[in-house]
Amino acid sequence: MGRTAWTITERRPTRQIQVGGVAVGGGAPVTVQSMTTTKTADAEATLTQIYALAAAGADLVRCTCNEEAAAEGLARIVPRSPVPIIADIHFHHEMALAALEAGVQGLRLNPGNLRKAHEIKQVAAEAKDRGVPIRIGVNAGSLHPELYKRFGGATPEALVESARMELAYFAEVGFEDVKISVKASSVPLMIESYRLASETFDHPLHLGVTEAGPPPAGLIKGTAGIATLLAEGIGDTIRYSLTADPVEEARAGRQLLEALGLRERKGLDLIACPSCGRAEIDVIAVASAAQSALENRNLPIQVAVMGCVVNGPGEAREADLGIAAGRKRGHLFIKGKIVRVVPEDEMVEALVAEAEKLVAEGVEARLAAADSGAEAEAEADRMALIDAKGVDANASETKVELIRKKYGGEHDET
């Protein structure tokens, strides 16, 4: 129960690094990242957000380290954080050194704005001594100006070259504990850049569409880029960049990986039919009532809300649990098998109660506890509805007959 049957098994091989205790690359489960929006100097507020992000599915959390007070904040945050902390560094290499001093488990350097070779090498040497990995975080929007000129813009080749140059500096001090990102706000550019990076490097790749904007467009852009690459086997850790509460980023990342079968289900997966002329209830209202009643209970199951009993239980037979509406009653089903018939106004309540029992007792026990007359009662409702509305609600078969009568016959063109 709770495990997606189909998954993407072919992943491009990468080497593995450790960020704190979290493995990235080399066949490790794809991880979810997000970034705090609080002032890192405010350790309490930042920790509150880190806990919320971890609860929503973040495996790793990044905090900016843009000033000395932020580094001091990190020194207080890291020991109390439930997940490894990565410091985000732009412009000031001393902030990377201060973050390492604070005990962070990872660094992100932007090669577009941290450009002095001796400073880059100093940070890499220090990270090497402390066993802390670095992400080379290339961003199309802040590409090194020389590369921009040389390649005539922020092309995939330019982004990958930026990462390659940074790797070369790291190699000079014998540092290889690296993951790479080549983000862009343009989805096609991002996809092409990561494809090229995947062909060029064997380091783990951190995927993201940068500055994707507020949901839903930001979610769509992020998913278009990240999911396309994951489906090709590219990517070892992901981040949605949304203009929203970062909890939404962590939740989206987790849900995407679960949807692709790349991570085991941790929370609820509510599916619902789109509704149609056959619907016996307001599917949208019942689905959202079920969602809000179930989502905070952390039940790792797939639950279906279906608008009619004629097609609902069959179409959602793969769901762990579901409910379908018909003749003012709800048919509660487990793995497509009807276990109870309840009054319509008790549908959501019955669904929630059964979900909790299902998680506690398991499918077999709950199927064994089914009401004995439920199947027969449900079948009677189903037949009555078919009689009332006809199996063919759209009258397709009648139309097909008509077409055959009018236009059928001998059309042998050989």
Chain residues that interact with ligand SF4, rule: CB under 6 A? 273-276, 278-279, 306-308, 310-312, 315
Considering the complex, what minimum distance in angstroms separates the CB of residue 103 from ligand SF4? 53
Considering the complex, what minimum distance in angstroms separates the CB of residue 290 from ligand SF4? 14
Q: Toward ligand SF4, which CB reaches closer, 9 or 388?
A: 388
Token pair in block for residue 390: 């006809």
Phi, psi of 7 (to 5 degrees): -145, 170
Q: At what angle do helices 117-130 and 93-102 cross, to 10 degrees?
A: 10
Partner residues linked to 18 by β-bridges: 23
Distance between CA atoms of 152 and 346, rounded to whole angstroms?
A: 64
Q: Toward ligand SF4, which CB reaches closer, 368 or 391?
A: 391
Considering the complex, what minimum distance in angstroms separates the CB of residue 258 from ligand SF4? 23
Considering the complex, what minimum distance in angstroms separates the CB of residue 168 from ligand SF4? 57
Distance between CA atoms of 60 and 353, rounded to whole angstroms?
A: 34
Considering the complex, what minimum distance in angstroms separates the CB of residue 273 from ligand SF4? 3
Q: Toward ligand SF4, which CB reaches closer, 60 or 308?
A: 308
Considering the complex, what minimum distance in angstroms separates the CB of residue 310 from ligand SF4? 6
Residue nearest to ligand SF4 (CB): 307
Partner residues linked to 64 by β-bridges: 88
Q: Toward ligand SF4, which CB reaches closer, 70 or 304?
A: 304
Q: Toward ligand SF4, which CB reaches closer, 76 or 389?
A: 389
Q: Toward ligand SF4, which CB reaches closer, 75 or 279?
A: 279
Q: Toward ligand SF4, which CB reaches closer, 205 or 308?
A: 308
Considering the complex, what minimum distance in angstroms separates the CB of residue 317 from ligand SF4? 12
Considering the complex, what minimum distance in angstroms separates the CB of residue 375 from ligand SF4? 19
Considering the complex, what minimum distance in angstroms separates the CB of residue 281 from ligand SF4? 9
Considering the complex, what minimum distance in angstroms separates the CB of residue 306 from ligand SF4? 4
Q: Toward ligand SF4, which CB reaches closer, 18 or 275?
A: 275
Q: Toward ligand SF4, which CB reaches closer, 264 or 282?
A: 282
Considering the complex, what minimum distance in angstroms separates the CB of residue 347 from ligand SF4? 14
Q: Toward ligand SF4, which CB reaches closer, 132 or 306?
A: 306
42 and 73 Cβ atoms separated by less than 8 Å: yes
**Quick one: CA dihedral 35, 37, 40, 44, positive or negative?**
negative
The three state secondary structure string of the chain is CCCCCCCCCCCCCCCCEEECCEEECCCCCCEEEEECCCCCCCHHHHHHHHHHHHHHCCCEEEEECCCHHHHHHHHHHHHHCCCCEEEEECCCHHHHHHHHHHCCCEEEECCCCCCCHHHHHHHHHHHHHHCCCEEEEEEHHHCCHHHHHHHCCCCHHHHHHHHHHHHHHHHHCCCCCEEEEEEECCHHHHHHHHHHHHHHCCCCEEECECCCCCCCHHHHHHHHHHHHHHHCCCCCEEECCCCCCHHHHHHHHHHHHHHCCCCCCCCCEEEECCCCCCCCCCHHHHHHHHHHHHHHHCCCCEEEEECCCCCHHHHCCCCCEEEEEECCEEEEEECCEEEEEEEHHHHHHHHHHHHHHHHHHCHHHHHHCCCCCHHHHHHHHHHHHHHHHCCCCCCHHHHHHHHHHHHCCCCCCC
Q: Toward ligand SF4, which CB reaches closer, 41 or 304?
A: 304
